[in-house]
Each structure stands twice: as structure tokens, then as C-alpha cells.
Amino acid sequence: MKSIIRLIGIFLFALAVLGCGTQKAYSPGSLTLDAAIDEVSAYFIERLPQGAKVAVMRFDAPSVRFSGYVFEEVWRRFEDSGRFVMVDRKNLDRVETEIKYQLETGKVDDELAVSITKQYGAEILVYGQIAALGNEYRMTIYATDVEKAASSQRVCIIRPDSRLAALFDGSLNDEVDRAVFVMADALERETVVAVGRISYTGTDTVSGFSAWLKSAIIDGAQKYPEKFKIATESEYADFTAASRSLTADADGAVQAVITGNYSPLDSGAEVTLRLISVSGNKNVLSTASFGVSSGEMERRKLTLLPEQNNTVVSAADFAEKQQAVAPYAGKNNQWVFTVTPDTLDGIYYNGDFMSMQVYSERDCYFRIIHTDVNGSTQIIYPSSPDDDNFLRAGQVRRIPDNTRFRMQPPFGEEMILAAAYERPFTVAAVSEAARLNADTIARSLPAQGSDSETMSPSATSRFSYTILPR
């Protein structure tokens, strides 16, 4: 009997050890989400002056549901305390947009926040952001005193729990719908919108995920006909051409564009969408962010990176390609020079036709290089000495001149690289293809002048586009 008891004891001890071994380690002092909200709310409620007019903003968070939950809970705690006068939520749209923009750019400007907040009679502005930190989240909440133009902040580390899991458990369609609702809430009247490029962060690369998001955004926007009117195909095409894919001011039917980016997050993705006015300074009217779980991505067979021959390109190959074409980013341009596609979103389907526009602020001679899905790189204009590659200042040229390129397999990402030179250069009778790599790109930049002198480009530009099956 004692042996049995001893064996049971050893078995239970082993289970306990195994249980401890599989338990995830969290930061000392980390809190559950609700406990963190309690802590930061109590901290500010105790310290802010009683009777102050307080404006609480929606929080910048990886998920729209996450952001909305924290906002509602912080608002409720402030309101239930009975110590403050809460500013009407309907007056907070512009403040919220400005603060979110500052958080995204990493610049929280107290003076700007103060000047905006004063317009709505608020004395205290409460806002914050929540960012992934390994398997935890860092929540930073700010309280800005409008009169004193000074801020205080409180930081908490949030560890995963059932509440947090539930906030990330919504379907991708639900997240997009909530993001569209946030953007619709920022509009005061019906606005004609077009959906532009939604790309991999830090690049202009689009994928099947971008195409899915565009479709879901349009479906979501149609639920708010009093706020959104989706641009017709002709309005979309006219605006794309007139604005040279958002690189120039343009008048027309389109009043705002939804663009965005996405990045990897815990084997899933984090998506940020922006509603941008196309007039004046192209102000950001609203932003919305949300997370997408790896399970959702797998269930819908969506990938962040484009495919090559039906296989998703590796992160290493993608990074190498981006680094190789970096010299064509136009960072050291001596004047404005752009090459842009005839679509805002950078997506073409099998059988579509494509052309591009080349613009230069000064007289120049230009050259265009095409890189296909498999990395074959070749000069496509001028392709013979008879081609006229002179571009007059202020002129917009469509390439090809009298026809268009037909999109067809293989599917994946392709690139257009353009360079502008001050003087004419020698054009080879035949252009040979080469593999895309840093060396090929470096050798593509210099041009041989008519006097046999080697010239470097005065300006460069590029764009990528992705061909998808229909």
C-alpha cells in the first residue's frame, strides 16, 4: 500500500514539474488586460483635477476590437468616478485622427494636441497606444493638461489571458468591417472614395492579401451609403491618370482614397488602413488598425508576400530583391521624376492590360527597365535607336505609346525601374536580359553619352505590381 501511495506521489510530482515546464514566462509585474485598465485609470483619476473636462481618445492598438474595448473601459471608469465632465464623443474625430497620426510617426507633439483639443473645450486629453512586445503587450497611456501644455504617462505590460484572446478571435471580415466603420465615422457627408495600394510595410509590394483586403473594404463601405460612394471604374481610371497614382494633385470625382500597409505579427499580420483626402495637403482623415491571426490567414489561404511560380517567395529572397532595387527609390533625385502604373492598387489580373506614365519636372532623356516574376531584367524603353526617349519638362508620356502590355502567367510581382539623364545616351540595337541582383542594378544605372562619357542618372523612380489569376 505504501508503495502505491509513493508511486502516486511521484506521478503527481512529475505532472506538476511538467506543468511548470510548459507554462509561459511573463514579465515581472505584468497584468491582465482588465487589471491594467483598472491600474492606469485609477492612477489618472486620482491625480487629474476634479471637475476637469476630459476627452478620451480611441487607442492605437493591433486590433479594432482591442482598441474599442480599451477605449470603452477607460471611458466608463472615468465617467463612473463622477470626478470629471466628459467631452461629447462626436466632437473627437479630428483630435483622434491627429493623435493617431502622431503615434504612427513616432512623434507625439503636445503643443499640437493641445491646440486641437482646445477647439472642443477639453481641458485634459487622454490617449494612448498598445504595441506587441514578444508574447505580451505594452500599453502606454498619456494625459495631456491643455492649460499647462504638459503630459504625464503610465505604462503597463499586459500578459495574455482569455479576455485578450477573445479580442483577437474575430473573423477577418469582422475586423475589416470595424475598420471601415471607424473611417465612416470620421466623415460628415457622402464621400466618393477609391481603394488604393495596400502594401507590405516599407515597400510598395502588393499580394493576394492586398486584393482580398480591397474587396472586403469595398463590401464594408457599401454598408454605409450615407458616408461612402465607391468610385465607378471610369472615375477610378480618370483619377489614377490625372493624379499619376497619387503623385500629383488632381481634380475629379474622387474625394478620398483608402490606402494602407500590413506587416508580420505573431505568424499573422497587423493591418493599418488610412482614409486620405485627395485635396489640398492630402490630410489623413482617419486611421484604423487590426490584427489577423495565423489561423485566419491559413483558412483563407492568404499570404503577406507575393508568389513566384505558385510558391510564396521567402522573406530572405524578398528582402534581397528590395535591397537590390533600392537605387531606383528616387531618394537623391535632383528634380521631380516619376513613373507610375495605370492602377491605384498595383494589382492586375490575368488578361488585363497595363500601361504607365512617365513625368519629369525638367527636360530629360529617360530609360525604363522591366523585371519579371522570375527576376529577368531587361530595358524595354528605348528598345531601339529609333525610340524617342526625350521628355520635355512638365510633359506626361504614356508607355507604351500606341499599345498596352497584356498581363499573363507566370503570376507574381514584377517591377518597373526608370532613370532620367540630362543628356542623350547611346541606345543599343538589342537589349539582353539579365538576372535581377544588386550587381545588375548597379550596372543598369550609368549610361553612355554621345561623347562616350559615362553619365549617372539625375533622377530615378520605380513601382511594382502583382499579377494574379482571375
Residue 322: count of CB within 10 angstroms of its CB: 17
pLDDT higher than 70, residue 117: no
Q: Cα-atom radius of gyration of the chain, to the nearest Å?
A: 27
Of 71-75, 211-215, 388-392, 421-425, give the lowest mean pLDDT range: 71-75
Confidence category of residue 94, pLDDT binned at 50, 70, 90: low
pLDDT higher than 80, residue 330: yes
Residues 56 and 120 in one domain: yes
Q: What tens digit of pLDDT does each residue of 24-53 get?
A: 578 888 999 999 999 999 999 999 999 999
Residues 289 and 335 in one domain: no
Confidence category of residue 450, pLDDT binned at 50, 70, 90: confident
pLDDT higher than 60, residue 319: yes
Residue 420 confidence (pLDDT) = 98
Contact present, 41 and 77 (Cβ < 8 Å): yes
Q: CA-CA distance, 120 to 89, in Å (whole number)?
A: 10
Q: What is the mean pLDDT of residues 382-393?
A: 93
Q: 254: domain CATH number? A: 3.40.50.10610
Which pTM was predicted?
Answer: 0.72
Which of 129, 148, 166 terminates a domain? The answer is 166
Residues 352 and 424 in one domain: yes
Strand partners, 417: 369, 462
Residues 391 and 330 in one domain: yes
Residues 328 and 438 in one domain: yes
Query: Quick check: is 1 in a domain?
Result: no
Number of domains making up the chain: 3
Residue 10 confidence (pLDDT) = 41
- Residue 416 in grid coordinates: 518597373
What's the domain range around 107? 33-166
Q: 358: domain CATH number? A: 2.60.40.2550
Q: How far apart are the first and last CA of the chain?
A: 73
Confidence category of residue 20, pLDDT binned at 50, 70, 90: very low
Residues 345 and 387 in one domain: yes
Residues 325 and 460 in one domain: yes
Query: Quick check: is 361 in a domain?
Result: yes
Check residue 24 and give left, alpha or beta (phi > 0: left; psi -120 to 50: alpha): beta
Contact present, 149 and 110 (Cβ < 8 Å): yes
Residues 225 and 110 in one domain: no
Contact present, 433 and 341 (Cβ < 8 Å): no
Which of 108, 131, 166 terminates a domain? The answer is 166
Q: What is the mean pLDDT of residues 167-176?
A: 81
Q: CA-CA distance, 241 to 244, in Å (whole number)?
A: 5
Confidence category of residue 112, pLDDT binned at 50, 70, 90: low
Q: CA-CA distance, 204 to 108, in Å (whole number)?
A: 26
Residue 72, SS3 per DSSP: helix
Q: What is the DSSP string of 211-241?
A: HHHHHHHHHHHTT-TTTEEEPPHHHHHHHHH
pLDDT higher than 70, residue 21: no
Q: CA-CA distance, 418 to 458, in Å (whole number)?
A: 11
Residue 102 confidence (pLDDT) = 53
The chain-wide mean pLDDT, for the chain, equals 86
Residue 110 confidence (pLDDT) = 57
Tell me the C-alpha to C-alpha distance, in Å, between residue 306 and each of 95, 212, 292: 37, 13, 18
- Select, from the ranges 149-163, 172-186, 188-202, the one with the highest average predicted confidence (pLDDT): 188-202
Q: CA-CA distance, 346 to 177, in Å (whole number)?
A: 23
Which of 273, 304, 335 terminates a domain? The answer is 304
Query: Quick check: is 20 in a domain?
Result: no
Per-residue DSSP letter, 58:
P
Identify the residue with better confidence: 395 or 383. 395
Tell me the C-alpha to C-alpha distance, in Å, between residue 465 and each of 350, 422, 453: 13, 28, 34
Query: Quick check: is 182 in a domain?
Result: yes
pLDDT higher than 70, residue 72: yes
Identify the residue with better confidence: 348 or 92. 348
Residues 269 and 137 in one domain: no
Residues 159 and 232 in one domain: no
Residue 23 confidence (pLDDT) = 47
Residues 335 and 461 in one domain: yes
Residue 83 confidence (pLDDT) = 95
Nearest to 237 by CA among 345, 140, 138: 345
Of 55-59, 250-254, 275-279, 341-345, give the lowest mean pLDDT range: 55-59
Q: How many residues does the chain have?
A: 470
Q: What tens digit of pLDDT does each residue of 225-274 get?
A: 999 999 999 999 999 999 999 899 888 899 999 999 999 877 788 899 99
Element (H, E) at 452: none
pLDDT higher than 80, residue 63: no
Residue 199 confidence (pLDDT) = 97
Query: Quick check: is 12 in a domain?
Result: no
Residues 214 and 141 in one domain: no
Query: Quick check: is 24 in a domain?
Result: no
Q: In what order do the strands lie in the sheet with 191-200?
A: 228-230, 191-200, 256-265, 268-277, 284-292
Query: Quick check: is 310 in a domain?
Result: no
Query: Quick check: is 18 in a domain?
Result: no
Residue 57 confidence (pLDDT) = 81
Please report the sign of the dihedral spanned by the C-alpha atoms of residue 168, residue 173, residue 174, residue 180: positive
